[in-house]
Structure 1
Amino acid sequence: MKVNPKNGIDQLLFGMKQSDVIALYGEPNNQFEDDDSNIIFLYNEKKLRLTFYEDENFRLGYLITSNPDSVLLDQKVIGRKVEEVKNELPFKSWETEWFDSTENHFNESNWLILQSEYEEIIRIEIGAIINDNDEFDWKFKGK
């Protein structure tokens, strides 16, 4: 499963609607509304969490995966040492924030988070990019 910063994961592109995702992956294993009225899809087998933003007409705007087969710029990262991966990536600006036993390593220019626990990456999060006009840069050009 290829993680494409600024674009999406696998066949999923930022800006897709729920129906576009269902056409590709079928019905999610679970679906719920979060505290911000966004719709969340969970795909267990793919280890994917998808967020469709309510205030953006329910477009796909955020993706989280803990799939061990995830590939970021041609390298697997889940289970690897976070500092080793960060040193190999071309992204050099990282902000780090602690949450109990986990750390979030955030690269703002790609809206990418590598979450680690015990110094190993346990999940990848990517979000749609906001352009210079303060609008989302949707990659999906469908309906």
Structure 2
Amino acid sequence: MEIKLKFGIDKLLFGMKQKDVEAIYGKPNAQYNDEEDNIVYVYNDYKMRLTFYDDEDLRLGYITSTNEDLELFGEQIIGQNWLSVKNILAEKKLTQFETEVVDGTENYFFETNWLFVNVDYGNVFKIEIGANFTDNDDDFDWKFKA
């Protein structure tokens, strides 16, 4: 499953509606509302959580995954050593990031691509990507055109 920065993962594109996602992956194993009233779909087989933004007409805006088959720039990254992944990112000019450590877990945030790389015990265990904003930073740059 290829991570396509600024676009989505695999066949998922930011801006899809729930019906569009269900046409690809079927009904989710679970769904819930988060603290901001967004709808979150949980797909166990794909190890993904998909967030549909309430204030954006329930468009897919955020994906979290621990799927071992995730690839970024053709390289598998879940379970890989952070330093190896950091080098892969650096080769693609992704060197500017913010770091936060929470309960020993390191979180690296690349704002220009809205990418979070979550690291525990030196290895990447989770990826989070979100829809980017347009040049004027007021609107999302939805990639799915219904």
Runs of 4+ deviating beyond 4 Å: none
Q: Does 1:10 align with 2:10?
A: yes
Which residue of the partner structure matches residue 47 of structure 2?
47
SS in 1 for 2:35: coil
Structure 2 unaligned blocks of 5 or more: none
Aligned-pair Cα RMSD in Å: 0.7
Percent identity over the alignment is 51
Which residue of the partner structure matches residue 82 of structure 2?
82
Tell me how far 1:81 sits from its aligned partner: 1.0
Q: Does 1:141 align with 2:133?
A: no
Equivalent residue for 1:112, pick from 105, 110, 115: 115
User: 1:2-37: CA deviations, max 9, x gaps?
Assistant: 111100000000000001000110000000001100
The TM-score with structure 1 as length reference comes to 0.97
The TM-score with structure 2 as length reference comes to 0.95
Tell me how far 1:101 sits from its aligned partner: 2.3
Corresponding pairs, count:
142
Tell me how far 1:86 sits from its aligned partner: 1.0
User: 1:94-140: CA deviations, max 9, x gaps?
Assistant: 11101102111111110001100011000110000011222100000
Structure 1 unaligned blocks of 5 or more: none
> Aligned equivalents of 1:80 and 1:24: distance in 2?
28
User: 1:51-88: CA deviations, max 9, x gaps?
Assistant: 00000000000001100010011000011111221112
> Aligned equivalents of 2:38 and 2:104: distance in 1?
27
